[in-house]
Amino acid sequence: MTTGAWICLVSPLVSAILITLGGTRLSRRTAGYLATLACFVSFSGALASFVAMLGRSGGDREVVSTAWTWLSAGRYSSGFEVLVDPLSVMMMLIVSGVGALIVAYSIGYMDGDPEERRYFAYMSLFVFSMLLLVQGGNLLLLLAGWGMVGLSSYLLIGFWHERPNAIAAAKKAFIMNAIGDATMALAFFLLIKQSGGLAFGVLNAHYSSTTANLVALGLLGGAVAKSAQLPLQTWLPDAMEGPTPVSALIHAATMVTAGVYLIVRTHAIFEQAPKIADLAAGLGAGTLLLAGLIALVQVDIKRVIAYSTMSQIGYMFLGAGLGAYANGMFHLMTHAFFKALLFLAAGIVIHALADEQDIRKMGGLRRLLPGTYWASLIGSLALVGIFPFAGFFSKDSILAAAMAHGTYGYILWVAGLTGTFLTGLYTFRLFFIVFGGEPSAFVREHFHALKRDVVGVSMGGTVAVLAVLSLFGGWIQFSPWWHPVDTWLRTVAEPLVTPKSWQEWTSIGASLLLGLAGIYSAWLFYGARRVAVPRLDVAQRILERKFYFDELYDALFYIPAVLLAKGLYVLVEQPLVRGSVTELGEDARDVGGLVARLQTGLLRTYVLAIATSVAVLAIIFVAVR
Amino acid sequence: MTGPGVAWYLGVAAFLFATGSLGVLLRRNPLIVLLSLEIMLNGANLALIGFSRNFGNGDGQIFALAVMAVAASEVVVGLGLIVALNRKRVTLDVDRLNRLRG
């Protein structure tokens, strides 16, 4: 069981190292094949652990395998170890499986880019970091993986480093994530102080309510930053500057789902701090509404999908915060399928239209890209949560769990339902604008179809696989009748809420209706164009500026920091630091000039000086004695 | 042990040393300066040996031998330099040899 897990963890790292060391000795294609192969090997490793775990009974399913003692200081020590339990195996399967498909897709998408090898090395590193995050056998390794995910995302978002926008976006993502890393590290320091270690077991100990609240808050800070939830959500849409498969990887398999994983993994501490858990759920609900609203006015195809990710992660936070851990994780899984599908389908569209991402220029792609049309339709329906697509099964059970959480839960439930309507509206707005109607002038001019070579097969094939997963992936669990995911995760995280049957059915009915209503309004506005899109300039502007979060952070942090720096430059740097350096140099030169005058070069003066000094010394010697 | 007392020896040594140092200070020819240096060293040697004899201790004589070795090597280097200067047709005057740049 652990052998599979180690193979799963190490093989992407090996590929990253090989591609880096191989350099130009590897052809560009080979680098892509190597990375893809490594990810599929990784997936088979995960599959092997999964099969081995199926053969064990519930209590024996948690195994820690330690390679060596990684760090020890005083009484503290942490091993380099992997934890194999139902939760980590589930994450391993999602990360390596969806990750492998996305890397395979990249072979086609990145074909001809001048720096393909670097790209595939980074991709492998990204998958490795995420696997380290989910497999790490203690909180310290989790934090190491957490940081490395931030690093790899920085490298990949800024992959096209000649574009200033991409660099700015990469820095933004890194800084936002660093805030989360810092709060997490603080939480870990507190844990070490209180319990002396960072094994996952210390989370189960009982803490005073202040400690529990602070630790949970620190962990929530990390989760919120990595998963792009309120109030650290601003980096995610900018991260669309990276190549499309990178966006797919960030959104579907790695990175943003890490926050949900963290909450589920450390649920014991959140259960001791119910207020913080409620806060997590509330932030999730807030984000899903906010992102859904902003997505309504975005005109970049990838940004619309990015906001839909934020909104869906909001649902997962909602579920995880309420204690419906299995439901949150299940939604994470189905979301990985359909979000990867949507991004990769959008990648095909962008590829076919000579890298154009503005949906206002698109239209009528239905006949030109029939396969992508169907794939996107499946993905969009799954995203809205329409029966029988994947999202239907996972989203509704989160809403049902919200109903079972008292009054606060009902508020969240209403927010979640509103979100469903918004999801239907913005998803199908995108869908109808891009695929519906007649081909626009821009499309007629720039369209070029995929060829049936490696490029076309790698892109089309992976999209087809993901479409099948989005179609059938949700059938694993239908919470009113069968729930293997709940049972699978029960030994790791016991759910706190058990919705009653009528709550399940009410949620299913209501969200289905609202989702369909959203789609219908999108059809009226953008598909059939029977109703003019209502325009409200103020609202439009607010949404286009993304609720002014960027401006707010600029005003709160960036501008004061710049002013402080400028002030210090004028008041301290110039007079004190720079002035003192010049002054010191000049003084040293003056002293040097004086001393140099003593050095005449005349032997006689030297001898006289020596003789006089010796005489004086002798006299002093005699006199003192 | 017969012969003059240690004061005589010291007197001669002081005279030699003073002669030598005056030579170093006053003469301009580097050859003479070098010779005067040797005289100073011999004065010091004489003082060492005089004390050594006075205290019946051989240490001073060992020191004198060491000084002689140093003096010999110094003369080798010094004379070599002077010969080299002379070959280059440089005026042999220590007052005019006041630049290290060469």
Distance CA A600, CA B42 (A): 29
* Residue in A600, A601, A607 closest to B25 by CB: A607
Are A368 and A313 members of one domain? yes
In the prediction, which pLDDT does B41 show? Answer: 93
- Residue A610 touches partner B, C-beta closer than 8 Å: no
Distance of CA A335 to the CA centre of its chain: 14
**Does B1 have pLDDT greater than 70?**
no
| pTM: predicted TM-score of the whole model, two decimal places | 0.76
Q: Which amino acid is at A504?
A: E
Give the tens place of pLDDT for each residue, B50-97. 999 888 888 889 999 999 999 999 999 999 988 988 888 778 887 777
Are A538 and A597 members of one domain? no
Burial group, residue A209, by CB count within 10 angstroms (0-12, 13-18, 19+) = exposed
In the prediction, which pLDDT does B2 show? Answer: 64
**Does A545 have pLDDT greater than 80?**
no
Distance CA A332, CA A383 (A): 12
Helix axes A209-226, A139-157, angle to 10 degrees: 20
Would residue A521 count as lying in a domain? yes
Q: Max CA-CA distance within chain B?
A: 56
Is the Cβ–Cβ distance between A140 and A78 less than 8 Å? yes
In the prediction, which pLDDT does B76 show? Answer: 93
Distance CA A54, CA A448 (A): 47
- Residue B102 touches partner A, C-beta closer than 8 Å: no
Is the Cβ–Cβ distance between A604 and B25 less than 8 Å? yes
3-state helix, strand, coil in chain B (%, to 5): 75, 0, 25
Instruction: Tell me which residue range forms the domain holding A20.
Output: 2-55+63-465+485-544
Domain boundary among A500, A520, A544: A544
Would residue A551 count as lying in a domain? no
Helix axes A258-265, A116-135, angle to 10 degrees: 20
Find, in chain B, the residue whose alpha carbon is nearest to that of A600: B98
Give the tens place of pLDDT for each residue, A101-132. 888 888 888 877 778 888 888 889 989 999 89
Are A347 and A326 members of one domain? yes
* Residue in B21, B25, B98 closest to A600 by CB: B98
Q: How far is B28 from chain A (nearest CA, A)?
A: 9
Are A458 and A357 members of one domain? yes
* Residue in B21, B33, B98 closest to A601 by CB: B98
Are A22 and A43 members of one domain? yes
Give the tens place of pLDDT for each residue, A8-56. 888 989 988 988 888 778 787 888 888 889 999 999 998 888 888 888 7
Distance of CA B94 to the CA centre of its chain: 17
Count other Cβ atoms within 10 Å, centred on residue A115: 14
Is the Cβ–Cβ distance between A47 and A133 less than 8 Å? no
Q: How far is A600 from chain B (nearest CA, A)?
A: 7
Q: Give the alpha-carbon dihedral of A437, A441, A443, A444, to 10 degrees.
A: 100
**Does A452 have pLDDT greater than 70?**
no
* pLDDT (average), residues A210-235: 85
Q: How far is B35 from chain A (nearest CA, A)?
A: 15
ipTM of the prediction: 0.78
In the prediction, which pLDDT does A255 show? Answer: 82
Average pLDDT over all residues of chain A: 84
Are A216 and A271 members of one domain? yes
Do A602 and B95 lie within an 8 Å CB cutoff?
yes
In the prediction, which pLDDT does B42 show? Answer: 93
For residue B46, what are its two tokens?
A: 């004489």
Among the listed residues A348, A337, A353, the one whose alpha carbon sits nearest the alpha carbon of residue A372: A348
Residues 17-76 of B with CB under 8 A from A: 21, 24-25, 33
Do B100 and A607 lie within an 8 Å CB cutoff?
no
Would residue A245 count as lying in a domain? yes
In the prediction, which pLDDT does B80 show? Answer: 92
User: Among all chains, which residue has been given the structure tokens 């729930």?
Assistant: A483
For residue A32, what are its two tokens?
A: 């892509």
Count other Cβ atoms within 10 Å, centred on residue A224: 26
Give the tens place of pLDDT for each residue, A453-488. 767 777 888 888 888 888 887 777 776 677 777 777
Q: Which amino acid is at A363?
A: G
* pLDDT (average), residues A527-550: 74
- Say if residue A534 is preceded by a cis peptide, omega within 30 of 0: no
**Does A625 have pLDDT greater than 90?**
no
For residue A351, what are its two tokens?
A: 């590829």
Would residue A552 count as lying in a domain? no
Are A457 and A591 members of one domain? no
User: Among all chains, which residue has been given the structure tokens 């007649």?
Assistant: A438
Do B97 and A607 lie within an 8 Å CB cutoff?
no
User: Among all chains, which residue has been given the structure tokens 């024996």?
Assistant: A60
* Whole-Å CA distances, A454 to A15, A102, A447: 21, 15, 19
Is the Cβ–Cβ distance between A489 and A90 less than 8 Å? yes
Burial group, residue A438, by CB count within 10 angstroms (0-12, 13-18, 19+) = exposed
- Pick the residue with more confidence: A327 or A451? A327
Give the tens place of pLDDT for each residue, B22-43. 998 888 888 898 999 999 999 9
Dihedral over Cα of A354, A358, A361, A365: its sign: positive
Distance CA A295, CA A158 (A): 23
Is the Cβ–Cβ distance between A436 and A363 less than 8 Å? yes
What's the topology of domain B6-87?
Helix Hairpins (1.10.287)
Would residue A475 count as lying in a domain? no
For residue A90, what are its two tokens?
A: 């589930």
Which helix (H) or strand (E) element contains residue A479? none
- Residue A608 touches partner B, C-beta closer than 8 Å: yes
Distance CA A344, CA A523 (A): 24
Q: Give the alpha-carbon dihedral of A445, A450, A453, A457, to 10 degrees.
A: 170
In the prediction, which pLDDT does A486 show? Answer: 74
Residue numbers in B near A610 (CB within 8 A):
none
What burial letters (b/e) apply to A245-280, b meaning 16+ CB within 10 Å?
bbbbbbbbbbbbbbbbbbbbbbbbbbbbbbebbbbb
* pLDDT (average), residues A55-73: 77
Are A150 and A185 members of one domain? yes
* pLDDT (average), residues A353-362: 78
Are A282 and A399 members of one domain? yes
* Whole-Å CA distances, A289 to A85, A201, A227, A307, A414: 34, 36, 15, 10, 11
Are A456 and A569 members of one domain? no
Burial group, residue A54, by CB count within 10 angstroms (0-12, 13-18, 19+) = exposed
Which residues are registered as beta bridge partners of A76? Answer: A73
Would residue A399 count as lying in a domain? yes
Residue numbers in B near A611 (CB within 8 A):
21, 25
Distance CA B71, CA B87 (A): 24
Are A585 and A492 members of one domain? no
Do B25 and A604 lie within an 8 Å CB cutoff?
yes
- Pick the residue with more confidence: A439 or A587? A587
Q: Which amino acid is at B20?
A: G
Residues 547-606 of A with CB under 8 A from B: 600-604
Q: Report the number of distinct structural domains present in chain A.
A: 2
Sequence-ordered strand ranges (E) for A109-175:
none
At B10, the pLDDT band (50, 70, 90 cuts) reads very high
Are A185 and A100 members of one domain? yes
Distance CA A253, CA A238 (A): 19
**Domain chopping of chain B, boundaries:** 6-87
